Amino acid sequence: MKIDGTPFRAIWVDETDGWAVRIIDQTKLPWALDIPRLTSMEAMAHAIKAMLVRGAPLIGASAAYGVALAMRTDSSDSNLSHAIVTLGATRPTAINLRWALARMEAHLRPLGGNARTVAAYAEAAAICDDDVATNAAIGRHGLPLIEARATNGRRVNILTHCNAGWIATVDWGTALAPIYMAFDKGIDVHVWVEETRPRNQGASLTAWELGKHGVPHTVIADNAGGHLMQRGDVDLVIVGTDRVTRSGDVANKIGTYLKALAARDNGVPFWVALPSSTIDWTISDGLSDIPIEERAQSEVTTMTGRAMDGSIATIRIVPKDSPAANPAFDVTPARLVSGLITERGLCSANEAALAEMFHETA
Amino acid sequence: MKIDGTPFRAIWVDETDGWAVRIIDQTKLPWALDIPRLTSMEAMAHAIKAMLVRGAPLIGASAAYGVALAMRTDSSDSNLSHAIVTLGATRPTAINLRWALARMEAHLRPLGGNARTVAAYAEAAAICDDDVATNAAIGRHGLPLIEARATNGRRVNILTHCNAGWIATVDWGTALAPIYMAFDKGIDVHVWVEETRPRNQGASLTAWELGKHGVPHTVIADNAGGHLMQRGDVDLVIVGTDRVTRSGDVANKIGTYLKALAARDNGVPFWVALPSSTIDWTISDGLSDIPIEERAQSEVTTMTGRAMDGSIATIRIVPKDSPAANPAFDVTPARLVSGLITERGLCSANEAALAEMFHETA
C-alpha cells in the first residue's frame, strides 16, 4: 500500500545489488521510516526474533529470504539444515514460519550448488508474490461484508485489534485488506484501532499505516472496544490470526478473545481474515494444543514512545518491585467466530466447512 | 492500610493547624509520596477534577472536606450553594460525589455562622469514619469468598481491574478490602493487577498499594485477563464500581465489562464490592441511564512514567495525526455479575435482592 502516496511492499530484494534484503524496521515505527539492508541469515533471524518484522505472513516471507541469504553464503546441505533450524526457532507461535521454511526446504533439498542459491531467491520471491495475491483475494472476498453495511453512503465502523495490515504481510494485509479495498473504492470506512498493549502494535503500526494511506481511524484503549459495541458504534470486527486450528479455533494477539466475547454479546459480526497457510491441520483444540508465547516482563513494565524533545524514550510505568506476566496470544474458540475470510472465499469456522474449502490439504 | 509499615488514611485534617486538608497526590504515585496541604474549596475541586484524589468513596469524602474548607472562608447560604455546585461539577459519573454533597447540604443548610463551619468539619470527619467502617464491613463480608477457595493452604488468585483499594477510599478500599483482610489473616492470596489503560490506575496505584502493604501481586496488560481465566489461573474476580443501578447494573472503569464476559464464559465468579452509597436508586437500566464520561484524547495518546534517568517523563505513543477516543467507564449488565459485596453482606445483583437488603432507601 502507500506511504504518503508512494507504493511499498514490506520486504523486497535490494534493487542496487540484487541480493541483499530490505525490510521496514517496524520497531522504529511510527516515529521513523528506517529501511535496513540485511546481508546474512543471522541478521534475518535477529530481525524476526527482535520483531523488526512481525505478522505471520511477513515472518514467513522473511524466513524464506533468510534461507536465500544463507544459501548465498554456503549452499551445502548442512547449511540448509542449519538455516531451517535457526530461522524456525525465532518465534514459537506463527505457523507461517514453519510453512514457509518447509516450502523452501522441499524446493531446495533436491538441488545443489549455485542452482540451489538461485532457486532460493526465486522461491522466496514466489512466496512474496503468492502472499500479495493471497491477500488481495482476501480483500476481494471480505469487501462485500463492508459494502453490505454501507447502504445509502452510511459510514461503516470497523474495529480491529493489533496489526494485520500490509506491514504484517508483504502487501495489502489480511484484516485490513478488505478495508483498503473499500476505502480505495470510495466507501466511507472508519476504523477503531485498539492500541494492543503491551507492544502497542495497534497504536504504533495500524494507526500509522492507515494514516499514511489516508484511511479515517481513531485509536482507543483495548478496554474501550466492548463499550463501543454496547453503544452501537461498531458494525463489524475484523482481526487477523497467527494460527487457526482445523476446527476453526483462532490464536491471535492477546485480547482478541475478549473482543470476540463482546461481539457475540452485542450481535456484532466477528470475522477473522487469514491466508490458508495459517491453518494448522495437525491440531484441533486451540485452547489445549496451541503453545502461547510468554514474552518479557519489560514489555508490560515499560513503554517506548516519543519524548517531548523529539527523542525516542523508554519509561517505566509499573512500580519497580512489582512483577509482571506477559502472555502474547490468546485463543478465540470457533463458537465465537462469525466466519473466516480466506483467499478462496468466506468460510464458517468449523471443521466441516474448512475441510470442504481446503479439501486437498485438510 | 500501611505504607512500608506505617498506617495511613487517604485523606485527613492536618494535625498541626486543625483545618487544612491533607491528601496523597495520586497523580504522583507510584513514583513519589507527595502529600499536598489543601486550604480552599477551589483547591479541593481542582484536586478532584485533576484526579489527585480519585475513587468514588474518596471523591465523596474529598467533596465533603471541600465544603468544610468553603464554610471556613464564608459560611453564607450563597457560598454553601456555590460550593455544592462547584464541587458537584468536578466529575460526572461518580454517584458518591452527589451523595456526599447532598448529605453535607442537608446537615448544614439549617445551621448558620460559625456553627455551620464547625458542623461541616464534623460531618466531613463522620463521612470519613463511616467510610472506613463501611469498607471494613465490605472486607468482612467478602472474606469468606476468598477463604472458601483457600482450602489446604492453596493459593487463591484474584483478578482486579483499576484501583478500588484503600487509596480509592478513606481506608481498606472496596474490592481490595476482602483481599487485605485475607492477607492479614495469613491466607495465601495473589492478585492479578490489570494495568487499566489509559490512565494505568492498576499498574500505578493498585500495584503500588498492594506492594507497600506486602500483598503478592503480578501486573498484566488488560488484554491478558481473559486468557488467564481460560487457563484456570483466576479463582475469583473482584472489582469496585462508580455507580450501581437499582437493578444491579454496574458502571466501572472502562474494560470491566470485558472481564465480566470472560468470567461468565469460564465459570469464574465475578463480584463487585461497593458501599451502598454507590447505588443510584433513581435509575434502572445502566446502559441507557448512566452518562459515560469522555475524557481527554491525551490520556490515550501519551503515557507518563519514570525515565531511565529517574525523572518523570511523558511520551507520545500514537502517531501525531491519529485521533483518539477515550470513554472512561463502561456498564456491566447485572446478568454478568455473580453478586455484590456490600457493607450489609453479599447480595444478588437484581432489583428484588437490592430492595430487600436496602429496604429503607430502595
pLDDT (average), residues A125-137:
97
Per-residue pLDDT, B162: 97
Segment B19-49, tens digit of pLDDT: 999 999 999 999 999 999 999 999 999 999 9
Per-residue pLDDT, A277: 84
Per-residue pLDDT, A239: 98
Q: Do B303 and A322 touch (CB under 8 A)?
A: no
pLDDT (average), residues B322-340:
98
Contacts of A3 (CB under 8 A, 6+ apart): A33, A212, A213
- Contact (CB, 8 A) for B239 and B273: yes
Q: Taking all residues of chain A, what is their mean pLDDT, rounded to a whole number?
A: 96
Dist. CA A356–CA B345, nearest whole Å: 56
Among B317, B322, B327, beta carbon nearest to A303: B317
Question: For A101-105, B209-213, B307-311, which range has the lowest pLDDT when averaged over its residues?
Answer: B307-311
Whether the predicted pLDDT of A93 surpasses 70: no
Whether the predicted pLDDT of A92 surpasses 90: no
Q: Do A325 and B218 touch (CB under 8 A)?
A: yes
Whether the predicted pLDDT of B158 surpasses 70: yes
From chain A, the residues in CB contact with B304 under 8 A are 315, 317
Question: What is the DSSP annotation of B194-226?
Answer: E--TTTTHIIIIIHHHHHHHT--EEEE-GGGHH
Whether the predicted pLDDT of A115 surpasses 70: yes
Domain with CATH 3.40.50.10470 in chain A: 142-357
Residue A322 grid cell:
512489582
For residue A96, name the pLDDT band (cuts at 50, 70, 90): confident
The domain A2-131 is placed in CATH, from the list 3.30.230.70, 1.20.120.420, 3.30.420.40, 3.40.50.11810, at 1.20.120.420
Question: For A96-105, A216-225, B139-148, B157-166, which range has the lowest pLDDT when averaged over its residues?
Answer: A96-105
For residue A153, name the pLDDT band (cuts at 50, 70, 90): confident
From chain A, the residues in CB contact with B195 under 8 A are 197, 300, 317-318
Per-residue pLDDT, B112: 87
For B207, nearest residue in chain A (alpha carbons)? A322
| DSSP summary character for residue B52 | S
pLDDT (average), residues B126-148:
97
Q: Do A322 and B211 touch (CB under 8 A)?
A: yes
For A202, nearest residue in chain B (alpha carbons)? B318
Q: Do B257 and A257 touch (CB under 8 A)?
A: no
For residue A278, name the pLDDT band (cuts at 50, 70, 90): confident
pLDDT (average), residues B144-166:
96
Per-residue pLDDT, B55: 86
Dist. CA B301–CA B317, nearest whole Å: 6
Q: Do A258 and B195 touch (CB under 8 A)?
A: no
For residue A158, name the pLDDT band (cuts at 50, 70, 90): very high
In percent, how much of chain A has pLDDT > 90? 93
Residue A4: how many other CB atoms lie within 10 Å: 10
pLDDT (average), residues A301-317:
95
Whether the predicted pLDDT of B62 surpasses 70: yes
Whether the predicted pLDDT of B57 surpasses 90: no
For A219, nearest residue in chain B (alpha carbons)? B324
Residue A325: how many other CB atoms lie within 10 Å: 17
For residue A56, name the pLDDT band (cuts at 50, 70, 90): confident
The C-alpha of A87 sits at a distance from chain B's nearest C-alpha, in angstroms, of 28
**Residue A5 burial class via C-beta count within 10 angstroms: exposed 0-12, middle 13-18, buried 19 and up:** exposed
Whether the predicted pLDDT of B92 surpasses 80: no
Per-residue pLDDT, A94: 65
pLDDT (average), residues A189-207:
97
Kindly state whether A298 is in contact with chain B, defined as any CB-CB distance less than 8 angstroms.
no
Residue B58 grid cell:
474518596
Residues 243-262 of B with CB under 8 A from A: 253-255, 257-259, 261-262
> What DSSP element (H or E) covers A260?
helix A256-266
Per-residue pLDDT, A95: 74
Whether the predicted pLDDT of B230 surpasses 80: yes
pLDDT (average), residues B227-239:
98
Contacts of A346 (CB under 8 A, 6+ apart): A141, A142, A145, A339, A340
Whether the predicted pLDDT of A260 surpasses 70: yes
Whether the predicted pLDDT of A286 surpasses 90: yes
From chain B, the residues in CB contact with A313 under 8 A are 307-308, 313, 315
Dist. CA B213–CA B1, nearest whole Å: 7
Q: Do A219 and B255 touch (CB under 8 A)?
A: no
Per-residue pLDDT, B94: 65
Whether the predicted pLDDT of B166 surpasses 80: yes
Q: Do B223 and A255 touch (CB under 8 A)?
A: yes
Among A218, A261, A313, beta carbon nearest to B307: A313
pLDDT (average), residues B124-152:
97
Per-residue pLDDT, B279: 92
| Residue B191: strand pairing partners | B158, B217
CATH class of A142-357: alpha beta
Give the dihedral sign, CA A200/A206/A211/A216.
negative
Summarize chain A as % helix, strand, coil (round to 5). 45, 20, 40
Q: Could you confirm whether A285 is annotated as catalytic? A: no
Domain with CATH 1.20.120.420 in chain A: 2-131
Per-residue pLDDT, B93: 67
Per-residue pLDDT, A213: 97
Segment A4-35, tens digit of pLDDT: 999 999 999 999 999 999 999 999 999 999 99
Among B217, B226, B325, beta carbon nearest to A258: B226
pLDDT (average), residues A321-334:
97
Segment B258-277, tens digit of pLDDT: 999 999 999 999 999 999 98
Whether the predicted pLDDT of B359 surpasses 90: yes
Per-residue pLDDT, B278: 87
Q: Three-state SS across A39-65?
A: CCHHHHHHHHHCCCCCCHHHHHHHHHH
Instruction: Look up the ipTM and state it.
Output: 0.92
Residue of B131, B222, B235, B242 marked active site: B242
